[in-house]
Amino acid sequence: MSVSPFETAFLRKVADRSAVVGVIGLGYVGLPLALSTAEAGFKTLGFDVDRAKMDMIRAGRSYILHIPGDRLQKAVAGGLFSATDDFRRAAEADALIICVPTPLNRHREPDLSFVTGTLDSLLPHLKAGQLLSLESTTYPGTTAEEIRPPLEKRGFEIGTDFFLVYSPEREDPGNPEFETRTIPKVLGGDTQACARVGLALYREVIGRMVQVSSTRAAELVKLLENIYRAVNIGLVNELKMLTDRMGLDVFEIISAAATKPFGFTPFYPGPGLGGHCIPIDPFYLTWKARAYGVHTRFIELAGEINQSMPHWVVEKLAQALNDRGRPLKGSRVLILGLAYKKDVADMRESPSVEIMKLLLARGAELSYSDPHIPVFPSLRRGRFDLASVPLTPETLKATEAALLLTNHAAFDYRLIADYAPLIVDTRGVFPQAANVVRA
């Protein structure tokens, strides 16, 4: 096995903790990763174009709910973590890890502009001997087809004087049982030398690494993980609509099925899919599959079901109001929860926003309560110039319906049950009662 001098030098820097790690994109994936590399003893540079984030990091203030400020303060005060928007400083790093968004465009096709834009910003400052790792979720072939060619055009020989890997993020914001360091991490290298270099660094930060044969394999692993969830959520969302017609409680059915100790994993229905992964990732694979002449019907059907849920919820609300002699138009509806999942402040792809748009179009008067989102974000405000209202007997009695979309632990569910005239529950939180309708 031939080992280049650049590989030897990189491994030495990892071993003696002199390697500098750069993390590009300090969001829900990048910030915890950057803190983890700093806490492992590596000087870490965080890169982001959002200057508000830079200011908060320099002040030791966390802008992500589940990351405590004292953890950030310790890393900054210890001199192991700093943040910058100056991409020229990429030359200071031995390893660069890209953690930027990969959304869909308006045609629901992959949008790699954040990845390619980041690479364009980095290219003038890259040097021999560096490791570049892509963590952003994407379709199989992205690393080899979009990242490697510009590096080679720059004059690097991949696997000899420059190292390229794909290692997908695995974050579950708001889940206290897992953190970056404790979640097993998949990695595929563009060459075996690339894999050796990537594993050497990540093993110092992550408890368990799982190597696969290539970057393309690692890219598909990430898509499979999220498509598995999307398909199973689509199944129980469809089952929810069926059990509603049958007069059965889908949450009771799922809970009972979950007592089987083998062969069954419970998934739960909701008002639609949200977050940066599950609503988006299936379409990355269906788009790529078309290049191979494959129509991924099963995946696309699950996507159609999940995308239809906001409309179903709105119709259930309208029906519940109509049964009580109220039209949806002009009714005061209190939205409980804007975030896409419980106990986070993340609104990316949140079904709450889509449901609010549908309700507004039907003439409803809207307000919302979310303890983690005090003001509707300005970039997405549009027609929703709103701030979170406190949950009190007065605010609840002043509505025609409370629509539970995000089951935050901070909500006082007993208070809601006692004072809301009508509760439309999309999360199965409230027991059956005269003022509760499941949706």
C-alpha dihedral sign at 428, 429, 433, 438: negative
Structure tokens at 295: 């129509």
Helices and strands, number each (H, E), in the chain: 15, 13
Q: Which residues are catalytic?
A: 277
Please tell me the number of Cα atoms within 13 Å of 70 on its side-chain side.
0
Report d(CA 171, CA 181) in Å as an integer.
Answer: 10
Q: What does DSSP assign to residue 70? A: H
Contacts of 12 (CB under 8 A, 6+ apart): none
C-alpha dihedral sign at 185, 190, 196, 198: negative
Report d(CA 38, CA 351) in Å as an integer.
Answer: 35
Burial of 292 (0-12, 13-18, 19+ CB in 10 A): exposed
Report d(CA 102, CA 285) in Å as an integer.
Answer: 13
Residue by residue, what is the 3-state secondary structure of 226-294? HHHHHHHHHHHHHHHHHHHHHCCCHHHHHHHHCCCCCCCCCCCCCCCCCCCCCCCHHHHHHHHHHCCCC
Report d(CA 215, CA 227) in Å as an integer.
Answer: 18
Report d(CA 137, CA 167) in Å as an integer.
Answer: 9
